[in-house]
Amino acid sequence: MTAVEDRPGVPSDDAAAPEIGRARRRKEDARLITGMTTWTDNMVLPGMLHLAVVRSPVAHARITNVDVSAVREAPGVIAVYTGQDLAEEQGSLPCAWPVTPDMVNPGHPSIAVDQVNHVGEAVAVIVARSKAAAQDAVELADIDYEPLPVVLDMEEAVQDGADLVHDHLESNTSYHFVFDAGEMGTGSDTDQAFADADVVVSRRFVQQRLIPAFMEPRSVVVQPQGDNYTMWSATQIPHILRVMAAMVTGIPEHKLRVVAPDVGGGFGGKLQVNPEEILCLLIARRLGKPVKWTETRSESLMTAHHGRDQIQYVDVAADREGNVKGLRVRLLADMGAYLRLITPGVPALGAFMYPGIYKFPAYRFECDGVFTNKVPTDAYRGAGRPEATFAVERIMDELAVELGMDPLELRRKNWINAEEFPFTTVAGLAYDSGDYETATQEALQLLGYDELRAEQQRRRESGDPVQLGIGFSTFTEMCGLAPSRVLGSLSFGAGGWEHAAIRMLPTGKVEVVTGSTPHGQGHETAWSQLVADSLGVPFEDVEVLHGDTAISSRGLDTYGSRSLVVGGSAVVKAADKVIAKARKIAAHLLEASEDDLEFAGGKFSVRGTPGTGLGIQEIALAIFAAHDYPEGIEPSIDAEATFDPENFSFPHGTHLCAMEVDTETGFVKIRKYACVDDVGTIVNPLIVEGQVHGGLAQGIAQALYEEAVYDDDGNLTTGTFVDYLVPAASDLPHFDTGNTVHAAPGNPIGAKGVGEAGCIASTPAVVNAALDAVRHLGVTDIRMPLTPERVWRALHDGGDGGERATARTNAQAVDSTDAPSTSGGAL
Amino acid sequence: MTPITVRVDGAAYTDDVEPRTLLVHYLREQVGKVGTVVGCDTSNCGACTVHLDGEAVKSCTVLAVQADGCEVTTIEGVGQDGLHPVQKAFHEMHGLQCGFCTPGMIMASIDLLEDNPDPSDDEVREGIEGNLCRCTGYQNIVRAVRHAAAEMRGGGGGSRNGHVSPAVVDTAAAPHVAVQA
Amino acid sequence: MIPAPFQYVRPTTVEEALQAIADGGEDVKVLAGGQSLIPVMRLRLAAPETVVDLGRVAGLRGVRDDGDAIVIGAMTTHSDVLSDPLIAEHAPLVAEATATVADRQVRHRGTFGGALVHADPAGDLPAVALALDAEFVIAGQSGRRTVPAAEFFVDYLTTAVEEGELLVEVRVPKLTGSWGMRYEKFNRVAQAWSIVAVAAVVRRENGRIAEARVGLTNMGPTPLRARQVEEALAGAEATPEAVAAAAQRAAEGTEPSSDLNAQADYRQHLATVLTRRAVTAAAGL
C-alpha cells in the first residue's frame, strides 16, 4: 500500500474485481510527493570528487593548444584531463544502428582530442573537491582553436564541394537509405504510379530540431571498488549502458554495475551512452575515488542529444476521385556532428510509417543522413514516427485541398477498414487490429465538430479577425519495439526482447524483477496489477524491482512504447511459469493429479471439490521450507521469462484540434482538443490517460513553441529555458480524451503501447487546424513552430512564414557584463 | 564564510555559508533536504520552489544568506503530521509521472491556494505558470489542485467554478468504447 | 551553475547602503529582489566583486499616500504591489502590468524598483512608469534628486541612476478625472518576456478623448512614449475608427530589435495593433 488511501469508489477489498482495467493510484507516488527520492544527484559518497567539463565555445575548429596549468593550481582542484590525456583509453562512443552496410561513422570521442565539431563538445575535464571549485576553474583553461568553416545547413551540406564536417571523409553524407516497395515486392512501381496519376501534390516540410528537455538534468556517479565499478546514472537504459560502457572502456562487463535510481523523465533523451558517463568511469578508474557529474540546464540543452531536424520532400499521387496511388518521400536527416547510439536509425524507423493508415499501392522512401556542426540528434519521443505521421497527415490535407474534397472524406476513402485487419501495408508491416471509423466518430462527438464547423463558417462570413480552423490527424504508429529478427534485418545492433523474473517470498509476498526501466511511466503499479491478476495475489503484496543490473540482470530497458507490450508480457509469461511450477507442488500436497487441479483467484483446488485447496502464497512458504515436495523437481517456484514479440503493435487514433488564429497578430490559440486512441487493452486507465496527456503536450509544443535554433556560427541561441519554450500550464488547453479498445493479438496482455501516441498524433492535427483557419486567406503552409510572427508573415507575405522569422541574429547584442532578460522582468 | 541561522521544516540550523551559496544548494547539501531539486539555471522551471517565510520562492534564485533569520518550508516539511491535502490530491488525481517537478509543483500549489482557496481551471493554470512539467501535460495537476482546494475548503463545500472532474473513469466494466471528457 | 565568489554586504539603512556601494570597489551590484541578477550571476554573465543586498534596508518597502501622488518604495515586491489598496485605487495600471510579470514565485521576491532600474527593454514596468509620468527619487552620498520618467531610461539596461547611487522610491501621480487604463501584453508563452506591449492611459471628456498617454514596451533599447499617437488622439472623437487611425502611427520613429521572437518590422506592426487594442479598452470603447 502506498501512504495514501486508495480511491474512494474503487473498493480495495473487492478481491474478485480484476486488477487489469482498474484506475489504481500509483505506488511510486509515495516517495515522489514527499521528497523521499533517490535522484542520482542526491547521492553523496565518502571522498567523492566533482567534475566540471570545459566545453568548446566554437562549432568547428582544430585544437592548436591546450594549457590547463592554471587549472591545476586552482583551489580545490585535484586533477584535470584533456583529450590528449585520455585519447588512448577513451575508445569511441557506440553507434548501435548501422542502417546501411556502407554507412560512414567517423567515430565519436567522449572528449575532443585535436578537433571540435560542435559547440559544447568536451575539451577538458576538471576534478575538484566541490562542484563550485570545479566550476570556478573552468574559466582558467586556456585553449586555442583554429577555426574551420561551419556546416549548418543540410541542403547546402549535401552539395558537391560543400565544406566538410569531417575533412577526412568524402562528403557530409553518412548514409543513403532506401526503401522501395516495388523492389521489396510489397507494392507496385512508384514512378509508374506517379506517371499515371491524375493529381500529384508535392510539399517540403521542415521538422525543426527539438530538445527532449527532461526535467531532471543528467547526472552520473561512479564508485570504484577495487576493479569493480558501480555507476549510478539518470538513464533510461542501465542495461544497454552497462554493455556499451564495458565495450567502450574495456572494463569487463561483470565488473560493472549500472544503477538507474529515480530518474526524472527521459522521452528518448536519456536513451544514450553519454560522453560524461564514459568520462566519469575513466576518471574514477584513474583516481580510485568516487566522482560525480551533474549537468546544468544550459549544458543539458547544449550538449544532450536533440531530436527531429529533418527536411521532408513529400509527393503524393492520386486519381481525381481521391484514391491515393502513390507516395514518395525523400528526407534529409541532420545527424549533427557524430553518430550516437541510434542517431542514424531514427529516420529509418520512421521509413515504414509514412503510408500511415492509408492503402497506398506504391511507396518509395529515401533518406540521406547528413553531418553538420551541431550536437547529434537521436531518439526523442516517437523517434522517426512523429515525422512520418506529420508528413502523411499534412500531405493528405494538401491533397484534399487540391481535389476539392473534405479532408475527412479523403481519409475515409483511403484508410484501412476495420474488416480488413490484419492488413499488410505497402511498407511491409502487418497492422494488427483497429477500427479507424469508430475512433473518428467518437472523436468528432467529443470535439463538438458540427458546432465548431458552423462557427467557423460564421467567422469567415463576418470577416472576424479571429478565424477558426479544425485539423485532423488519423494516425497509427508502430510500437512494442521490437521483434528481434526484424531488428536484425534492419541491422540494429541488439534484439528487442524483454526479460522478467518473479520471486515468491516465504511470506507469500512477490518480487517482480523487470528489465524495463521506468522513469515516470508507473511500471511499479502496472506490473503489480498484471501479477496480481496472474497469480491471484493482492496488489499490495507485489513489489517491482528494476533499474539495477545487479538486481535485474537481463533487460533492454524503456523506450519505443515497449515496456508494457514487451516487458509486461515477459512478466505475464514468468507468472505463467510460476503457476506451472506451483501446480506440481499443489498436486503433490493435495494428493491429486495435476490435470484435476484448477487455478483461480490465487488458489489451486481439485475440480469438483470446492472449499478445498491451496493458495499460491501458501505454496511459496511450503516450498521455502521444502519439507515435502515431489521427487525430481527443485524446491522453488520462482521463474523467469524472456518475451520476444513476433510483430510490432499498432496503436491508432483520431486527433482533432480546433484552433483560433488572430489574423491581426498571428497569435494562435487552441480552442479545443479531442482525441480517441486505441492502445489495445488498458491495464491502468489513469496511467494511460496521463501518458496521452503528456504526449499531447510535447506534440503540441513541437507545433507551436519549441525549436532549437543555431546562429550562423553554430551557437545554440535557445540555450536556456528563457528561449527554449517548454510550455507551462497556461500555454496548453484542456484535453478531451477517449479510447476504443481493440486488443493487440501479438502479446498476452493485448496492449499496444501508449507512451508516444499523443506526441506522434497531435503535431499535424494542430498545424492542419491553423491552416484550416487561414487557408481561405491564401495560406498553404506555416513552418513549425507556429510562432505568431510566422503565422503573420504567412498571412501577409505568403510562403510558410519561416525564412525571415528564423532570426539568427540578435541586434541587441549584450555585453557579457550586462544582464540580459532572464525570467520575466523582475529584479 | 558568513554565519546564518535558518529554521527549516521546523528545526533551527546554524551554519557558515559562502555568500554565493544558493538557498537550494544550502538546503540540499548542508541541511540534507534533497527532496528539493534543481531543474534549471534561469528560474524558469520552479522545481526548486520552497516557502520562505510563508511565501513560495524559487530557492535557486535566493542566496542562502538572504534567508538568514527566516523560516523555510520544503516538501519534506509540509506533511509532518501526515500528508498535506495537496500531496494527497496529486496522488489521487495522478498529478505526477516522473515526479521531478512534483515537490516544486506542490509547494507552488499550496501557495496559490492560500491566496485563492477556490481557483478555476484557468486560475490554477496561471497560478502554477512558474513551474514546468514535461510529463503530465498539466491536466491532472490542475485537477489535483482543484481537488485539494475542495478538500481544504471542507469537503462538500460549494465551488463557484463547478465540480472537479474525476481523474479518470474506470474502464474495466466498459471495455469497448469508454469516452470521457 | 553556481555564481562566482563575491563579497556580500547587507546594510540596514540607505546611508549604509550608499557607503557600501562606495566601498565596494570597481564592480558592485545592488541586489534588490535578485530575480534577474541571480540568474545572470549563475550563468556567470555577471561576476561582481561585491553584492550589496538591500533586503534589510528599512523604509524602502511599502506604498504611501503623498497627496497628489502615491509613493512606491523601491524594494516593494511585485506581490506587495498587487495587494496594495493605494495602487489599486490610484494606479491600477501598475497592478495590471505587474500581474503579468513572470510568475507568483518571482513576484514574491522581485521588486518594483529593481525591475525599473534593471531597465530591460522587454520589462513591463518601465513603459507603465513612462505612461504614468512617474518620478524617480534617486539617493546619492550628496543627497537626493528626482528624475522624471522621460529622462530616467537612458539606454539599453541603463538608467539615470549613476554609479554610487540608488533608486529609493517612485512617485506615481494620482490621476484625477475620468481615466481609463490598459496594459496590452503580447508574448508567446506564459513566462516569456513581452515581444511588444503597450500601456495606455486615456481621459475622456464629453465623448472625446481629452488626453492619452501611450507607453511602448520593447520597441527600442528603452521604453518609449508613442507621441504621434498621443497627439492624434488628443481631442479626437472617442470612436473605434479614430482610435484605429491614431494607432496606425504607434511605430513611427521606433527602432525595435530583431531577435528570436520577432523581427523589427513585425514588432512595428504589433505596436499598431496592440496600441489600438489598449487605447480602445482604456477609452472604454
Task: Average the pLDDT over B8-20 and give the result.
Answer: 98
| Sign of the torsion angle spanned by Cα atoms A96, A100, A102, A105 | negative
Q: Which of B73, B103, B120 is the last residue of a domain?
A: B73
Residues B63 and B111 in one domain: no
- Which residues from chain B sit within 8 angstroms of residue A297, using beta carbons? 39-42, 45
Longest dimension (CA), chain A: 87
Taking 90 as the threshold, does the pLDDT of residue C241 lie above it? yes
- Which residues from chain B sit within 8 angstroms of residue A736, using beta carbons? 181
Grid coordinates belonging to A665:
497578430
Name residue, grid cell 549613476: C162
What pLDDT was estimated at residue A14? 58
Between chains, do B178 and A741 touch, taking CB under 8 Å as contact? yes
Name residue, grid cell 531488428: A487
Residues C185 and C137 in one domain: no
pLDDT digits (tens, 9 = 90+) for A376-399: 999 999 999 999 999 999 999 999
CA distance A787 to A80: 44
Task: Average the pLDDT over C46-50 and give the result.
Answer: 96
Q: Is residue B161 part of a domain?
A: no
C31, C159, C189, best to mutate vs chain A, most A CBs in 10 Å: C189
What pLDDT was estimated at residue A787? 97
| Separation in Å, CA of A216 to nearest CA in chain B | 6
Interface contact B44, partner C, CB < 8 A: yes
Residues B61 and B97 in one domain: no
Structural domain range at position B67: 2-73
Residues C18 and C69 in one domain: no
What pLDDT was estimated at residue A823? 40
Taking 80 as the threshold, does the pLDDT of residue A505 lie above it? yes
Residues B50 and B19 in one domain: yes
Determine which of A7-21, A335-349, A683-697, A800-814 has the lowest per-residue pLDDT on average: A800-814
Q: Is residue B20 part of a domain?
A: yes
Contact A405, A414 (CB under 8 A): no
Enclosing H/E stretch for A123: strand A122-128
Question: Which amino acid does the sequence have at C154?
Answer: V
Between chains, do B57 and C105 touch, taking CB under 8 Å as contact? yes
Q: What is the DSSP letter of A568?
A: I
Residues C263 and C230 in one domain: yes
Q: In what order do the strands lie in the sheet with A639-643?
A: A542-545, A510-514, A498-504, A639-643
Residues C40 and C80 in one domain: no
What pLDDT was estimated at residue B81? 80
What pLDDT was estimated at residue A813? 32
Interface contact C62, partner B, CB < 8 A: no
Q: Tell me, what CATH number does C11's domain have?
A: 3.30.43.10
Which band of pLDDT confidence, cut at 50, 70 and 90, is reported for residue B168? low
Task: Average the pLDDT over C215-243 and give the result.
Answer: 97
Mean pLDDT estimate for chain A: 94
Taking 70 as the threshold, does the pLDDT of residue C124 lie above it? yes
Q: Which ranges constitute the DSSP H helices of A635-783?
A: 685-704, 757-774
Number of domains forming the structure of chain B: 2
Mean pLDDT estimate for chain C: 96
Determine which of A129-133, C24-28, C91-95 has the lowest per-residue pLDDT on average: C24-28
Q: How many residues does chain B have?
A: 181
This prediction's pTM: 0.96
Which band of pLDDT confidence, cut at 50, 70 and 90, is reported for residue B167? low
Q: Is residue B79 part of a domain?
A: no
User: Nearest residue of B to residue C1 by CA position?
Assistant: B41
Contact A236, A261 (CB under 8 A): no
Taking 70 as the threshold, does the pLDDT of residue A826 lie above it? no
Contact A287, A79 (CB under 8 A): yes
Q: Is residue B35 part of a domain?
A: yes
Q: Tell me, what CATH number does C143's domain have?
A: 3.30.465.10
Which band of pLDDT confidence, cut at 50, 70 and 90, is reported for residue A1? very low
Enclosing H/E stretch for A173: strand A173-180
Interface contact C45, partner B, CB < 8 A: no
What pLDDT was estimated at residue A784? 98
Q: Which of B11, B43, B73 is the last residue of a domain?
A: B73
The vertex-A708 CA angle with A707 and A710, nearest 5°, equals: 130
What pLDDT was estimated at residue B174? 33
Q: Is residue C29 part of a domain?
A: yes
Residues C67 and C51 in one domain: no
Q: Is residue C143 part of a domain?
A: yes
Question: Which amino acid does the sequence have at B81?
Answer: D
- Which residues from chain B sit within 8 angstroms of residue C38, using beta carbons? 22, 43, 60-63
Task: Average the pLDDT over A20-40 and give the result.
Answer: 97
Question: Which amino acid does the sequence have at C4?
Answer: A
Which band of pLDDT confidence, cut at 50, 70 and 90, is reported for residue A678? very high
Residues B52 and B105 in one domain: no
Q: Is residue B133 part of a domain?
A: yes
Between chains, do C39 and B66 touch, taking CB under 8 Å as contact? no
Between chains, do C79 and B61 touch, taking CB under 8 Å as contact? no
Q: Which of B73, B98, B127 is the last residue of a domain?
A: B73
Interface contact A132, partner B, CB < 8 A: yes
- Per-residue DSSP letters for C241-279? HHHHHHHTTTTTT------SS--HHHHHHHHHHHHHHHH
Interface contact A520, partner B, CB < 8 A: yes
C38, C75, C266, C277, best to mutate vs chain A, most A CBs in 10 Å: C266
Q: Tell me, what CATH number does B127's domain have?
A: 1.10.150.120
What pLDDT was estimated at residue B175? 33
What pLDDT was estimated at residue B156? 53
Mean pLDDT estimate for chain B: 91
What pLDDT was estimated at residue A293? 98
Question: Which amino acid does the sequence have at C179?
Answer: W
Short-list A720, A175, C202, CA closest to B40: A720
Q: Residue A509 CB: number of other CB atoms within 10 A? A: 16
Taking 90 as the threshold, does the pLDDT of residue A12 lie above it? no
Taking 90 as the threshold, does the pLDDT of residue A2 lie above it? no
Task: Average the pLDDT over A740-750 and give the result.
Answer: 96
- Which residues from chain B sit within 8 angstroms of residue C109, using beta carbons? 57-58, 61-62
Residues B14 and B69 in one domain: yes
Task: Average the pLDDT over A671-680 and give the result.
Answer: 98
Grid coordinates belonging to A760:
506522434
Taking 70 as the threshold, does the pLDDT of residue A814 lie above it? no
Residue C5 C-beta-side C-alpha neighbours within 13 Å: 10
Q: Is residue C131 part of a domain?
A: yes
pLDDT digits (tens, 9 = 90+) for B118-163: 999 999 999 999 999 999 999 999 999 999 999 999 855 567 777 7
Q: Is residue C229 part of a domain?
A: yes
Size of interface B-C (CB pairs under 8 A): 88
- Which residues from chain A sit within 8 angstroms of residue C37, using beta carbons? 819, 827
- Residues in a beta bridge with B10: none
Which band of pLDDT confidence, cut at 50, 70 and 90, is reported for residue A15? low
- Which residues from chain A sit within 8 angstroms of residue B43, using beta carbons? 822-823
Contact A389, A764 (CB under 8 A): yes
Among A residues 206-235, those touching chain B with beta carbons less than 8 Å apart: 213-217
User: Nearest residue of B to residue C3 by CA position?
Assistant: B20
Contact A508, A625 (CB under 8 A): no
Which band of pLDDT confidence, cut at 50, 70 and 90, is reported for residue B165? low
Residues B22 and B62 in one domain: yes
Residues C135 and C75 in one domain: yes
Name the phi and psi angles at A582, rounded to 5: -65, -30
Surface-to-core class of residue B158, CB atoms within 10 Å of its CB (0-12 exposed, 13-18 middle, 19+ buried): exposed
pLDDT digits (tens, 9 = 90+) for A538-584: 999 999 999 999 999 999 999 999 999 999 999 999 999 999 999 99
Residues B94 and B149 in one domain: yes
Residues B91 and B66 in one domain: no
Name the phi and psi angles at A510, rounded to 5: -125, 130
Neighbours of chain A (3+ CB pairs under 8 A): B, C
User: Taking the CA atoms of chain A, what radius of gyration do you get in angstroms?
Assistant: 28
Short-list C115, C155, C122, CA closest to C136: C115
Q: Is residue B169 part of a domain?
A: no
Q: Tell me, what CATH number does B21's domain have?
A: 3.10.20.30
CA distance A295 to A276: 9
Taking 90 as the threshold, does the pLDDT of residue A597 lie above it? yes
| Separation in Å, CA of C141 to nearest CA in chain B | 25
Residues C159 and C69 in one domain: yes
Taking 50 as the threshold, does the pLDDT of residue A585 lie above it? yes
- Which residues from chain B sit within 8 angstroms of residue A697, using beta carbons? 134, 136-138
Interface contact C8, partner B, CB < 8 A: yes
Residues C83 and C129 in one domain: yes
Q: Which of C24, C39, C56 is the last residue of a domain?
A: C56
pLDDT digits (tens, 9 = 90+) for C150-207: 999 999 999 999 999 999 999 999 998 889 999 999 999 988 899 999 999 999 999 9
User: Nearest residue of C to residue B67 by CA position?
Assistant: C55
Which band of pLDDT confidence, cut at 50, 70 and 90, is reported for residue A803? low
Q: Is residue C1 part of a domain?
A: no
Residues C74 and C151 in one domain: yes
Residues B91 and B130 in one domain: yes
Short-list A62, A208, A230, CA closest to A149: A62
Neighbours of chain C (3+ CB pairs under 8 A): A, B
Residues B59 and B118 in one domain: no
CA distance A498 to A492: 16
What pLDDT was estimated at residue A197? 98
Structural domain range at position C212: 179-282
CA distance A503 to A501: 7
- Residues in a beta bridge with A218: none
Q: Residue C59 CB: number of other CB atoms within 10 A? A: 12
Query: C226: cis peptide before it, omega within 30°?
Result: no
Q: Is residue B24 part of a domain?
A: yes
What pLDDT was estimated at residue A4? 33
The domains located in chain A, with CATH, are 433-486+646-827 (3.30.365.10), 497-643 (3.30.365.10)
| Separation in Å, CA of B21 to nearest CA in chain C | 7
Contact A649, A479 (CB under 8 A): yes
- Residues in a beta bridge with A677: A653, A739
CA distance B89 to B77: 17
What pLDDT was estimated at residue A798? 81
Residues C77 and C167 in one domain: yes
What pLDDT was estimated at residue A7? 38
Q: In what order do the strands lie in the sheet with C166-173?
A: C63-66, C69-73, C166-173, C135-140, C143-148
Which one of B20, B52, B130 has the shortest CB-CB distance to C102?
A: B130
Chain centre distance of CA A799: 32
Task: Average the pLDDT over A728-746 and give the result.
Answer: 97
Q: Is residue B26 part of a domain?
A: yes
Determine which of A7-16, A138-147, C76-85 has the lowest per-residue pLDDT on average: A7-16
Residues C185 and C258 in one domain: yes
Residues C154 and C68 in one domain: yes
Grid coordinates belonging to A62:
582544430
Q: What is the DSSP letter of C220?
A: S
Note the ipTM here. 0.96
Between chains, do C261 and A789 touch, taking CB under 8 Å as contact? yes
Q: Which of C133, C157, C173 is the last residue of a domain?
A: C173
Strands A363-371 and A324-336: parallel
Number of domains forming the structure of chain C: 3
